Structures are given as C-alpha cells and as structure tokens.
Amino acid sequence: MRKEEVDTPALIVDLEILQKNIVCMAEFAKSAGVKLRPMTKSHKCPAISHLQLEAGATGIQVAKLSEGEVMEAAGIKDIFISNQVVGAPKVDRLLRLAQRAKIRIAVDSVENMREISELAEARGVKIDVLLDVDTGIRRTGVLPRGPALKLASEVAKRPGLNLMGVYTHEGIVYRAKNKEELHELATKAARDMVETADLLRNNGIEIEEVSLGSTPGAKIVGKVNGVTEIRPGAYVFNDMQQLALGVCGERDLALSLLTTVISVPANDRAICDAGSKAAGPDSCAFGAFTPPGVMPKIEQVSRLGLVRTLDGEILRDVIFDSRIGEEYGLLQAKNCHELFKVGDKIEIIPLHCCGMVFLHNEIVGIRDDEVEVIWPISARGKVS
C-alpha cells in the first residue's frame, strides 16, 4: 500500500530518517564514551526500542512501571524506571518485574525508599536505585549537592536498596532562548550532577552512574567529564520543538500525522480530520505553558513549517491548529479554496512528538512512500 492510500488520521514514520536518527545518536554516545539509554515514552513502541538496542543502546528508560512491564514482555531486559514507584500494589509489581529483568528505579523521598526497601528485604532482594536530582525543572527530585547527600545517606542505610547512581532530566534546557543558552543550561546541569556524585563519593557512597537525559542536552552533557550515561527520547522522531531549538534540521523529522481535508467551508479555513484526539494537545501547550518569549508560539512554529504536502513541500503560510475540537483540525490560510479540496491528504509535523504518539494505537512505517510495517504502540495508555 502506498502512503497516500493509508486511511486517516494515521501516525506515520519515515523509516529511513528514523534509522538515521537512531544510528547518529548511538555513534555520538560511542564517540563520547558514554552509555546511551533512550527514553521510550516518546514512541511507546517495543519495535523501536529494539532498533535502538541493536544500534548500541545499553538499555532503556521508561516513564512508568506499566510501560516497563510492556517493554519487558517484549524482550527488553535492562530497564530504568525514571519515576517514583509509590504504593504497595505498585511495589509488588516492581519486585516481580525485577525478577524478570535488570531494573533500576528512581527515589527522591525517605517515605518512598522505606516502603520499597521493606518489601524488597522481605523478599530477600536488593533493588538498584538512582537518586532523582532536580537540576532546575522543579518537578520531583532533591536539589544537587547538600540535599542530595542528605537523602543519599538515607538510601545507603536501607538494606533493600542499592544506591548505584544519580540521575536528572535536564528539562530546563527547553527554556533556552538560543543555542548558546541551551549549551550553558545543559553544561550547568551536567556539572551539578558530576559535583553531586563527587560529593557523595567523598562521603563514602559509591556512585557508578551519573545519568542525564534530554534530547536537546544529550550531545552537550555527553561530553562533560564524569557523565556516564545519556537518556534522550524525542531524537528518534524529532519535532517542531527540536527544530525550533536548533537541535535537528528539517531532514531529520521522521514523524508526521497523515490527515484528510474533510471540509473547506470558507476561503480562510479548511477543516481536516485530525483534532486534539489525534494531533495532540501540544499545539496548545506552545502558547500556554512555555514561559513567555522562550519557545515560539504556534504562529511562529507554523512559519517553520508545520503542514507538509505528500510530496514533501512545506506549506509555510498554513497554520494548523488542533484546538478547535477533538475531531476537527483547523488549517488556516488566506486562499484555502485554491490550496485545499475535500479529500486532499496532507501531513502535520508534530510540535511535540511524545504528545502525539501516545494518542494512537499504531504507527505506520513508510519507506519510499510505501507502507513497510505497522507497529503497535504497545505501551499506549500505560500511565500507572
């Protein structure tokens, strides 16, 4: 089947570009002498994790325990769950998963480490733990240096836990205004982590892993002395956000959403069949949740080329907006009657690939405009 025959809306990936992105990051890690542990939340697809492992990744990172369970069942045996595993039912599942695969988890509180340690000890096992360090994103995690040392000393006391490293998501880099600031923010996060690890070591705590993770930061932090592991995710696909940050070029955009024009009710708008349930919420996020002046607004992103014809031509004067409805997408332009007719198919490049992928049941792999493979997005809906 050819690309244009695929029914819509459909998530499609260019297999050539995907493979190139995967190999390029693996080669960087190898040359920088760091381990690569890709974050799977961007694709939630075991087939793509396997491609990453074949290219040289040492393991994977998952966003949630349930995502880890899906990946383990698909044959992946080295998994970092970069999220707090809280509550007896989840800890029980964690310990079972740890019997089937090499698992490491994140902790950032005494309560949580106590809970996991007690259950692990009762079953006579030790769980590998990375200390969650907050390098500026202000979600979970302890602050670097002093606070990290204090919590690390608590972890080290727990018989069911084996503190083997520190980790962060240097998400702060997404707030960079330009490439220089991106470099600065990523380097600072890496230094915070290396210094924290050294402080822990100087206090008798063995720290093997100093792990950082983000796509924009990966190739910067990977070169900082003392960093042992990078964990980028979005790089497999890339998206408008990465393009806006200068992290990828137009030829590195592997993912898009195939959609059909279903109505052209006026010359200044056409309506396609991809709304917020297919294209994702992130067109919205660009206006509302990034700090003002930091990331481009939707109109600016559109200027970079959000809408593409099936021939690869970027329609820079067309603004796509998924916020007009769950089932309806807006194509805004001055000359819609010329540009679009009912039945036309176009591609939408995601603003944020992760936000689009998890809405879909499958991803259609395309090579030379022919459908080569359809992969189930098996970890879709796995949020627990």
- Residues near a second copy, by CB under 8 A: 5, 7-10, 41, 63-64, 83-84, 86-87, 89-90, 108-109, 111-112, 115, 132, 134, 138-142, 171, 260-266, 269, 271, 273-274, 276-278, 280-282, 284-285, 287-289, 323-328, 330, 341-343, 354-355, 358-361, 380-381, 383-384
Kindly state the tokens that stand for 291: 């700090």
The distance of closest approach from Cβ of residue 39 to a second copy in the complex, given in angstroms and rounded to an integer, is 11
> CA 11 to CA 37: how far, in whole Å?
25
> CA 274 to CA 82: how far, in whole Å?
31
252 or 273: CB nearest a second copy: 273
Phi–psi pair at 93, nearest 5 degrees: -65, -40
CB under 8 Å to 26, separation ≥6 — which residues?
A: 36, 52, 55, 56, 57
The distance of closest approach from Cβ of residue 109 to a second copy in the complex, given in angstroms and rounded to an integer, is 5
In contact, 233 and 213? CB cutoff 8 Å: yes
The distance of closest approach from Cβ of residue 310 to a second copy in the complex, given in angstroms and rounded to an integer, is 14
Phi–psi pair at 63, nearest 5 degrees: -85, -25
The distance of closest approach from Cβ of residue 383 to a second copy in the complex, given in angstroms and rounded to an integer, is 4
264 or 306: CB nearest a second copy: 264
10 or 17: CB nearest a second copy: 10
Kindly state the tokens that stand for 115: 């809970």
The distance of closest approach from Cβ of residue 71 to a second copy in the complex, given in angstroms and rounded to an integer, is 15
The distance of closest approach from Cβ of residue 262 to a second copy in the complex, given in angstroms and rounded to an integer, is 4
Q: How many helices (DSSP H) and strands (DSSP E) are in the chain? A: 14, 17
CA dihedral 108, 110, 112, 117 (to 10 degrees): 110
26 or 275: CB nearest a second copy: 275
32 or 284: CB nearest a second copy: 284
Kindly state the tokens that stand for 72: 């383990």
The distance of closest approach from Cβ of residue 112 to a second copy in the complex, given in angstroms and rounded to an integer, is 5
The distance of closest approach from Cβ of residue 326 to a second copy in the complex, given in angstroms and rounded to an integer, is 6
Q: Which residue has the tokens 């200044």?
A: 268
Residue 372 parent element (H or E): strand 370-376
- Residues linked to residue 264 through DSSP beta bridges, in sequence order: none
37 or 228: CB nearest a second copy: 37
Per DSSP, the three-state class of 241 is helix
87 or 249: CB nearest a second copy: 87
> CA 228 to CA 233: how far, in whole Å?
17
Category of 321 on φ-ψ map: left (φ > 0), alpha (ψ -120 to 50) or beta = beta
56 or 381: CB nearest a second copy: 381
